[in-house]
């Protein structure tokens, strides 16, 4: 059995074996151990949240009970910048469901768009429906399978998307097989003309420079938006000008306001990211990111 497979099995077993705990004083609504992880749903300070980890600050999704449409997390609001690069995507792919925050937001904003949402864990899909008001529209399909397997299937079928959102996380970070150059090339093949990719990553990580080098290797220049998380944005055929972005932001202002998205907050963050060492190694299927994450200091 290879080292990468053993590492993956250990990670899955750790996720299943660990017992998460919600914040002190929070009202626990649901707890279950799925095949892949612990899942907690709890309420605190007007928020309903989902967590996969003992570390209760590592929340996967949160919904404001008084304003269900409002995007609670900074990264989710930053995701809406993808529409500044293409304001009217007709086909959208989202890898990673959580509480269904992003599919629900795109359904409200783009009711005619065809949305494919992919989640490996059926338990997460059930929890999103029951506790986070996630209800797929007539144009939304939910697939319960590994995100990379789905991408390969669509690649073989010559399916393309105008917008691809990468938001798949396990109890630690993005699954290692969805961080590599090979995976990003597979995703790139799904992007249509001037297609947009938006990827949610950590703003502080041992992998930060490696991720940057890998995305640049596959896509060239990209925008890097940073708050609690980093959002990587690319567009095939070249990044849009600041003028085009500002124009699209103005057009979308009224539609995005109910989600809590303020263009005066979002626009200044959209800058081309550079600065990692030229010698930074590109992540590949043979060069395992988990080895970097778990390396001793």
Report the catalytic residues.
167
Evaluate whether 184 touches 214 at the Cβ level (below 8 Å): yes
- Nearest-10 crossing angle of helices 208-219, 181-190: 40
**Count of C-beta atoms within a 10 Å radius of residue 275:** 7
Residue 33 has φ and ψ, to the nearest 5°, of -105, 110
Name residue, tokens 């988990």.
290
Residues in the chain, total: 297
**Count of C-beta atoms within a 10 Å radius of residue 209:** 16
Q: Which of 79, 77, 70 is nearest to 48 (CA)?
A: 70
Q: Give just the sign of the alpha carbon dihedral 278, 282, 287, 290.
A: positive
Contacts of 267 (CB under 8 A, 6+ apart): 84, 245, 246, 249
Q: Which of 67, 234, 265 is nearest to 165 (CA)?
A: 234
Evaluate whether 12 touches 171 at the Cβ level (below 8 Å): no
């Amino acid at each position: 059995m290879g080292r990468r497979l053993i590492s993956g099995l250990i990670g899955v077993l750790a996720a299943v074996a660990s017992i998460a705990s919600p914040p002190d004083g929070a009202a626990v609504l649901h707890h279950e151990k799925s095949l892949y992880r612990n899942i907690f749903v709890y309420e605190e300070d007007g928020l309903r949240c989902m967590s996969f980890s003992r570390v209760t600050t590592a929340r996967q999704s949160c919904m404001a009970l008084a304003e269900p449409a409002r995007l609670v997390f900074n990264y989710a609001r930053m995701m809406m910048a993808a529409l500044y690069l293409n304001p009217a995507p007709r086909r959208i792919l989202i890898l990673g469901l959580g509480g269904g925050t992003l599919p629900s937001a795109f359904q409200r904003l783009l009711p005619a768009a065809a949305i494919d949402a992919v989640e490996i864990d059926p338990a997460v899909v059930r929890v999103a429906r029951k506790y986070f008001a996630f209800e797929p529209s007539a144009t939304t399909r939910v697939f319960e399978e590994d995100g990379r397997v789905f991408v390969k299937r669509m690649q073989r079928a010559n399916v393309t998307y105008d917008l691809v959102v990468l938001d798949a996380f396990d109890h630690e970070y993005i699954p290692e097989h969805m961080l590599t150059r090979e995976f990003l090339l597979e995703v790139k093949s799904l992007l249509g003309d001037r297609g947009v990719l938006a990827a949610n990553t950590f703003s502080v990580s041992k992998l930060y420079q490696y991720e940057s080098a890998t995305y640049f290797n596959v896509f060239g220049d990209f925008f890097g938006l940073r708050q609690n998380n980093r959002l990587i944005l690319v567009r095939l055929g070249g990044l849009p000008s600041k003028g085009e972005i500002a124009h699209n932001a103005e057009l979308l202002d009224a539609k995005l306001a109910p989600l809590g998205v303020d263009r005066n907050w979002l626009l200044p963050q959209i800058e081309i990211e550079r600065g990692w060492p030229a010698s930074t190694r590109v992540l590949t299927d043979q060069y395992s990111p988990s080895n970097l994450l778990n390396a001793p200091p």
